Amino acid sequence: MPKRRHILTLPDLGLGSREVVASLWLVEPGSPLNAGDRLLEVLSGSVTVDLPAPAGGVLVETLVVEDEPLAIGQPLAIIESDEEEAAAPIED
């Protein structure tokens, strides 16, 4: 079965115009994960939000570093899986 690539992007967290910062990666590149697993903590003011993996598979690459300011819709990580369903596939 061919591999699919899924991209995690920063959703609108409903926190207004507060700055959002990548706080802590909870999974290392190359690690397996399940859909919904906690992948990245982001911080906005005093609020910490866990972002879940959009699909199960392997974390291929992180696209932001800890303490980096983020924008809504910004790509954060790439996950590769055998699943046919993709939340947001990357076109090859």
pLDDT in tens, 14-56: 877 678 999 999 999 999 999 999 999 999 988 899 999 999 9
The pLDDT of residue 30: 96
For the chain, the domains span: 4-80
Distance CA 62, CA 7 (A): 10
User: Domain 4-80, what architecture?
Assistant: Beta Barrel (2.40)
Distance CA 50, CA 48 (A): 7
The pLDDT of residue 89: 46
Distance CA 54, CA 38 (A): 10
Distance CA 9, CA 1 (A): 25
Segment 47-89, tens digit of pLDDT: 899 999 999 999 999 999 999 999 999 999 999 998 554 444 4
